A and B are shown apart, each in its own frame.
Chain A
Amino acid sequence: MKIATRLFRIIFLSALVFSIAGAPGALAADTQDSVVEQVIQSGVLRVGMSTFVPWAMKDKTGKLIGFEIDVATRLAKDMGVKVEFVPTKWSGIIPALLTGKFDVIIGGMGILPSRNLKVNFTDPYDFTGMSMVASKKMADGMMGLEAFNQPGIIIAARLGSTAVTATKKYLPKAEIRMFDDEAQAYQEVLNGRVHAVVGSAPTPAFQAIKNPDKLFLPLQGTFTREPIGFAVRKGDVDTLNYFNNWIGYVTAEGWLKERKAYWFETRDWESQLQ
């Protein structure tokens, strides 16, 4: 038992020393080398993302597919490195970026002023908008955004997403019920427990097409327009510059538009999922 105590003491003290010694360097990301430099050196671009139809999802074989996946894969190819996707819970994705779990978030992240205080965003490479799908049972005959802006109306949305921000802004009187995943929010409206779901286009419209007996679209098109950018850690001008110019490059090429049309305006990829 003497040995055990001594061993315990050594481990405990060394852990203490390590945590004190490592503290300043751990939370501040390495700024000597830009992220682009580190990526080139390690040969791997680590991309944080979260499942979000049709931005990123796993197909039947467990392979990642989607608009964001195409973008990140092409980006890595143009950099001459391999891409590695790090699936992360949406609610914890910004802390994970800040603590260096991956190099960049390419996950359909809307550029919000409040988010921008914590991370740097590239130029927008995409614009999305919020739309809404409502339950026939709960909200029959309610048309237009204003109809839902009243007390007693319950809106489901994904936790930490811009859908929540949009709902608070445009439907201040309604009550918001937040869920960790989009699927849970849509399940809630299918079960008729909430009046409507607010989510990024085109998913609400797709859900309404899939379940015409239960859901309807209370408004045509989207009611917000949000820029979407890559998120990187602060204080790294080189990386930001590289990504911005890459976005400009593939936009000019027409490649981005073509990919967006495929994922957002067709349903050719549906068969890969189930």
Chain B
Amino acid sequence: MIDKPIKATPTDLILLLGIGAVGAWLLYQALVTADYHWNWQAIPQYLLRFDKTSDQWVPGLIFQGLLVTLRLSFWATALALIMGVVMGLFRTSCSLYRRMIGSGYVALIRNIPVLVWIFIFYYFIGDRILPAVGIGPATMGENTAASGLLRFVAGEPSRAPAFVSGVLALAIYEGAYITEIIRAGIQSIDRGQWEASAGLGFSRGQQLRYIILPQAFRRILPPLAGQFISTIKDSAIVSVISIQELTFQGTELMAATFLTFEVWLTILVIYFIVCLTCGLLVERFEKRLQQNPQRVS
């Protein structure tokens, strides 16, 4: 890898100018000729507002939605990671039984549209399994350890059943993709590594732990980061089951105020910032790993 000095040729300049001009013209067409009464000054109060009764700044509607989105993405990602790792190991396991479970899971989830899956899960699975394990309207008001935990995870207890459904549906969906990432990572490690470690007398568990996974982890990280960002973006889909996350709050706000473009653009910028931050964090983590490979073992 020799860095070549960067030189701009006249062709580059002409190209850049051309692209810039086309972009500017498109923006002009989109914004100016749309003949839309912009009303941006209405937006800030939906982000943060000053509450006169309690005399402090409180999150507005859109920020409340963002908090739910972050909460949802966090738990869904954590669960999806667990599912993905277990299933990924199943997919690369020696036993046919485990391999079949792993492949069955991936085949089932990857071949149904996420929107349909979220609905089916919410109306059928979520309605039967959740009350059976004690997550239902009846247990919401109780002051037990379980409902305390539920409040910690889901925020508002009254919305918890829908929230838990959303988290589970999203986690199972994203888990299928993470499974494939983990499997590809494990299988990308040279066969010689397995043989050499077996020759040194490692058991299969030890081979995975000390030899294979640390190497695979570094290769898995970039696509995994992409999947985390996908999870944040896909969390918008659960707005269809009326979980009050960012997209849901946005559509409700539009229905009430008719500020269609302003609200959509605000939401777009918020998603962009959140996903970009997430991507940059993983990138920093990757750099740290490269400088200090001993960290994962």
Contact = CB atoms under 8 A, between A and B. Distances in A.
Given A19-B129, A96-B242, A101-B162, A8 B256 contact: no
A181 B255 contact: yes
A42 B141 CA distance: 9
A82 to B, nearest CB: 11
Interface residues of A, number: 49
A273 B256 contact: yes
A60 B129 contact: no
Interface stretch (A20-28, A141-149, A217-225, A256-264): A20-28
A26 B127 contact: yes
A62 B59 CA distance: 10
A183 B132 contact: no
Contacts of A15: 129
Interface residues of B, number: 54
Interface string A93-126: 0011001110000000000000000000000000
A58 B252 contact: yes
A159 to B, nearest CB: 12
B34 interface: yes
Contact of A88 (B42, B141, B242): B242
Contacts of A58: 61, 252-253, 256
Contact of B133 (A18, A27, A88): A18
A180 B260 CA distance: 13
B258 A92 contact: no
B277 interface: no
A57 B255 contact: yes
B67 to A, nearest CB: 12
- Specify the main secondary structure of chain B where it touches its partner: helix
A184 B254 contact: yes
B29 interface: no
A52 interface: yes
Contacts of A4: 86, 89
Contacts of A101: 161-162
Contact of B128 (A23, A191, A207): A23
Interface string A236-257: 0000000000000000000000
A89 B255 contact: no
Interface of B: 34-37, 39, 42, 45-46, 49, 51, 60-61, 64, 86, 89, 93, 95, 97-98, 101, 119, 123, 125, 127-129, 131-133, 137-138, 141, 158-159, 161-162, 204-205, 239-242, 244, 248, 251-260
Given A27-B127, A51-B252, A53-B256, 4 more contacts: A1-B89, A1-B98, A18-B133, A19-B129
**Closest A-B pairs by Cβ, 5 of them:** A57-B256, A51-B255, A183-B254, A22-B128, A18-B132
8 contacts: A1-B89, A15-B129, A19-B132, A57-B256, A84-B158, A187-B260, A274-B42, A274-B259
